[in-house]
Structure formats: C-alpha cells, structure tokens
A and B are shown apart, each in its own frame.
Chain A
Amino acid sequence: GAGVSQSPSNKVTEKGKDVELRCDPISGHTALYWYRQSLGQGLEFLIYFQGNSAPDKSGLPSDRFSAERTGGSVSTLTIQRTQQEDSAVYLCASSPHGQGRNGYTFGSGTRLTVV
C-alpha cells in the first residue's frame, strides 16, 4: 500500500481480555517497529523486526506483550490479560532499511482503552 496501515484505529476492551493490533507496512520495507505512546508523552520503543533476523524485543514491558511478523510483511502485536496501564496509542512504523537511515513512515496508530 501507499502508507503504513494500522487496524483497528480504536479499540476499547475490558480489563483482563486479550487484544490483537495489526500493522500492514509499506510494501518492500524490511524494517518494522512498534512504539507505544501514553497521553501527552513521548514514544516508548516496544519491538523491532528487520528482515529474517531475530526481532529486538528489548522494549516489551512484560511477558503479556508479544508480536510476530508473518512473511516479512504484516505484523500483529498481542497484549494478553490487558491492564488499565496498557491504555495508550500503539504506533507502527516501517522503513526501507534498518538503522533508521531514511527515517520512518508511521501509521495512524491504534488507540487502546482498557476499562
């Protein structure tokens, strides 16, 4: 596609439920990133995929968070047993290469609200 697509754009879930967030990067971009942004805050790195390399999971806040990227394209971020502190905007970005050499293209994000 022409841009990075994220779905859903908004998600309201009950505490304790699992949620799946989807990111469809720009075709041909080998690098894909997930960030989280709490209200009025900066972006918190979560996870990074680059080609067929093992993902950099160093930013995942707990073992309730996981992500996969199938076929080097679409990625799914899964949050199990959601908590209220998981409420945030989850942003996905992709770039043609790793190392951020050319800047990232971001999706519009998924606003997750845990009630």
Chain B
Amino acid sequence: SQQGEEDPQALSIQEGENATMNCSYKTSINNLQWYRQNSGRGLVHLILIRSNEREKHSGRLRVTLDTSKKSSSLLITASRAADTASYFCATDSSASKIIFGSGTRLSIRP
C-alpha cells in the first residue's frame, strides 16, 4: 500500500504562477523527499526534509513538513514551462526502502 498520497492528482497553471502540491502519509517518518519525473522515466531527487525540520528551501522550491498532521507541501514559485513533470513525495519510515506516493502531474501553460 502507498505510504504517501499526493494532492491534487493533476494541476495546470499559467507560466509564472506558483504551484503547490501536497502529500499526506500515514506512519511516523525519518524524512520525506520530493522527486520530479519527466517523460515517465527516471526520477530526479529534488529535496529532502527531515522529521525535525519544518521548512526547507532550494532555489524556487519550498518544502514544508507538519508531522502532527502527517503532511508536506511542495511549492514551486514563478513556474516555468520546464517545470512540467510529475512530482512524487516519498517517505522513509524504516531502515530500508522509501515508499512513493502516486504523484501529481503538473502542467505549465505558456
């Protein structure tokens, strides 16, 4: 079963707008990661936030984590056409693998 679930499943916004995607999970975690996937192939690691962190920034990306609500959000500011992709959250709650959600498909309209 999936640990993380993204919301919305699909998002279409105008270039230049901000995009916000949410992730909810079920069990306690060590960290939460966000990945981007283009063209249904390999995933690219974007950012990792640890369970004792509440917010993290990387360039145009901002990630928040609320462990009391078991949720995270990924904000992409000033979106660009190249941001069009699927975005996945992944949670690490054990000493081994991380579990991926079903993803949000983001489309940036020119």
Q: How many residues of A contact B (CB 8 A)?
A: 28
Cβ-closest chain B residue relative to A50:
B96
Instruction: Determine the distance from Cα of A101 to Cα of B45 in the docked complex, in whole angstroms.
Output: 12
B48 touches A109 (CB 8 A): no
B97 & A56 in contact (Cβ 8 Å cutoff): yes
Contacts of B33 on A, CB cut-off 8 Å? 100, 103-104
Q: Of B42, B48, B88, which is within 8 A of A42 by CB?
A: B88
Q: Contact at A42–B92, with CB atoms within 8 Å? A: no
A107 touches B90 (CB 8 A): no
A89 touches B92 (CB 8 A): no
* Contact pick for B96, options A42, A48, A108, CB 8 Å: A48
Across chains A and B, the number of contacting residue pairs, with CB separation under 8 Å, is 67
Report yes or no: A42 in contact with B43, Cβ–Cβ below 8 A.
no
Is B102 on the interface with A (CB-CB < 8 A)? yes
Report the interface size class on chain B: 20 to 34
Give the distance in Å from the alpha carbon of A49 to the alpha carbon of B49 in the complex. 24
B25 within 8 A of A: no
**Does the CB pair A103–B95 fall under 8 Å?**
no
Asked if B2 and A42 make an inter-chain contact with CB atoms under 8 angstroms apart, the answer reads yes
**Is A99 touching B88 in the complex (CB atoms < 8 A)?**
no
Is A30's CB within 8 Å of the partner chain B? Answer: no
- Which residues of B, 12-59, contact A by the 8 Å Cβ criterion? 30-31, 33, 35, 40-45, 48
Which chain B residues in 77-98 approach chain A with CB under 8 Å? 88, 90, 92, 95-98
Decide if A105 is an interface residue (CB 8 Å cutoff): yes
Q: Please, could you name 23 A-B residue pairs with CB atoms under 8 Å apart, sorted by A?
A: A37-B40, A39-B40, A41-B103, A42-B2, A42-B88, A42-B100, A42-B101, A43-B43, A43-B88, A43-B100, A45-B99, A56-B96, A89-B41, A98-B96, A99-B95, A100-B33, A100-B90, A101-B92, A103-B45, A105-B45, A106-B44, A107-B42, A108-B41
